[in-house]
Amino acid sequence: MYDYLKDEIFELDGEAFEVLKLFNGSHSVEEISKITGAKIKDLKVLIDYLIEEKLITDKKVDKGVQKGSFDKSPVPSLRTILVHITTNCNLDCVHCYVDKSQRLEMEPSVFYDVVKQFDRLQGLKILVSGGEPLVHPKFFEMMRRIQGIKIRKVLLTNGVLLDGKKIRKLRELVQEVQISLDGTKSHEQFRRTKNIFGKIIESIRLLKESGFVVSVSTMIHKKNLEELPTLGKILRDLKVDNWYLDAPTVTGEYRNNSLYYLEPQIAGNILRKYGWGEKLYYESQTYACGAHLCTVMANGDVAKCGFYYSQPVGNIKSKSLRECWELIKEKYIWEQRDLRCFKEGCEHLKDCRGGCRYRAYIDTGDIMEVDRVKCSYYGVRI
C-alpha cells in the first residue's frame, strides 16, 4: 500500500491485507473480532493506528469512488519509472550521459501510454527527466494528462527554466522536484553555462515557498570539494528536504573531461560526509541495484536505467511495459549472492547492495565486481 502524496510505503503480507479489507465499513468491530479471533481492545489499538496512518478513515465515504483494478504485480515489482521525455537541454554539462546524436522529443501519446501501463502494473513513482524536461514544448500538456493517475510524480530538472508562473502551474501536477546543483562557484563551470547559480537558488526558494518537497542532487568532482560545506549550509537554510550526492560514472561526455575525475577512494570518503533525507529509489534485500526500476528513453526504448540506453530490451511502441520489464529482470537484475561482494563476505552488502553495477563495470570491466566508490564509502578494502 502506498501513500503517493507522502511517498510512504507499507508492505503487507496476504494475511494482513485480508484483515485490512475487513475495515471496509460493512463490519462492526465485534464482527471483525469474531472473524479474526482478535481481542476488541487490540483491534481498537489497530484501528487508531490505521486511522493515524491514513490507511482507513472513520469518516463516511462515497462507496465506489475509489474503486480501481490493477494487473498482478510482477516479482520483483516495478515501482519506479524514469522517463526521459526529451534529449534536448538548455545546459551543456561536463558529465552528461544522454545520447545527443539525435534530438528527440517523446510524443505525448507515448508518454501517456507508458504511464497508464506503469499504473496498471502497480507502479508507484514516475521520475520525469530529460535532457531538461521543461524544454519539451508539450511538457505541461503531458503532465496534465496524467494528473488523475495516482502515482507520485517527481520532476528532475536543472532548475534554470523555473519561475513563479511555471511553479504555480506545477503545483497540481507534481509532488516533488529534484534540482541538480553541484556547487557554488564551480556549478556554472561544471554545467558550462554562465549566470545560472542565482537563478537556481531562486527556483529552490520559490518551490519551497509553494510547499513542494524539494531535493537537490549533487555530483562531486575534483573542483567542488571545498564548496560542499557552504553548499550544504545554503541548502539547509533553504530547508531543502533531501540532499543526494554521488560521483559521476566515467561515461558519455565525462570521458572527455578527466580533469574533474576523483579517485574512487577519495569519492567514497566525501560521499560519507554529506547529504541527508530519504532515498529516491526503493531498494531490495535480495537483488543488486535497480531491482524495482526501469527507464524509458525519448524514442520509446526501454532499458534498465539511463546508463543502459544503448542496450534497450525493446521499444514501448512495439512491446508492452510488462514484456520489457520481464526482459530487464532476466538480463539486468542480479542477485546479491552472485556479486563478488557476497563471495568476499562483505558485511555491508545488505545496505550497499553492491553499489552501482554500471559503475563497477566501467571501472573494472566486470559487471559482478565491487563498486570501488561504495567500498571506500563503507571503508571496505578488497
Which residues contribute to the site for ligand SF4 (CB under 6 A)? Answer: 289-290, 293, 304-305, 307, 341, 344, 346, 348-349, 352, 354-359, 370-371, 374-375, 378, 380, 382
**Do 321 and 312 meet the contact criterion of CB atoms below 8 Å apart?**
no
Outline where 83-185 has alpha helix (H): 108-120, 139-145, 164-170
Q: Of the two residues 146 and 370, which places its CB atom closer to ligand SF4 in the complex?
A: 370
Q: Of the two residues 182 and 371, which places its CB atom closer to ligand SF4 in the complex?
A: 371
Backbone angles phi, psi at 271, to 5 degrees: -60, -30
For residue 167, how many C-alpha atoms fall within 13 Å in the half-sphere facing its CB? 22
Closest distance of CB 341 from ligand SF4, Å: 3
What is the Rg, in whole angstroms, of the alpha carbon atoms belonging to the chain? 22
Rounded to 5°, the CA angle 97-180-359 comes to: 40
Q: Of the two residues 128 and 341, which places its CB atom closer to ligand SF4 in the complex?
A: 341
Q: Of the two residues 196 and 302, which places its CB atom closer to ligand SF4 in the complex?
A: 302
Q: Which amino acid is at 94?
A: V
Q: Of the two residues 80 and 203, which places its CB atom closer to ligand SF4 in the complex?
A: 80
Closest distance of CB 253 from ligand SF4, Å: 16
* Length of the chain measured in residues: 382
Directed axis angle between helix 321-332 and helix 108-120, to 10°?
A: 70
Pairing of strands 176-180, 314-315: unpaired
Directed axis angle between helix 40-52 and helix 29-36, to 10°?
A: 110
CA distance 158 to 228: 18
For residue 277, how many other CB atoms are within 10 A of its CB? Answer: 13
Closest distance of CB 361 from ligand SF4, Å: 8
Closest distance of CB 216 from ligand SF4, Å: 18
Q: Of the two residues 153 and 372, which places its CB atom closer to ligand SF4 in the complex?
A: 372
Closest distance of CB 249 from ligand SF4, Å: 7
Closest distance of CB 327 from ligand SF4, Å: 15
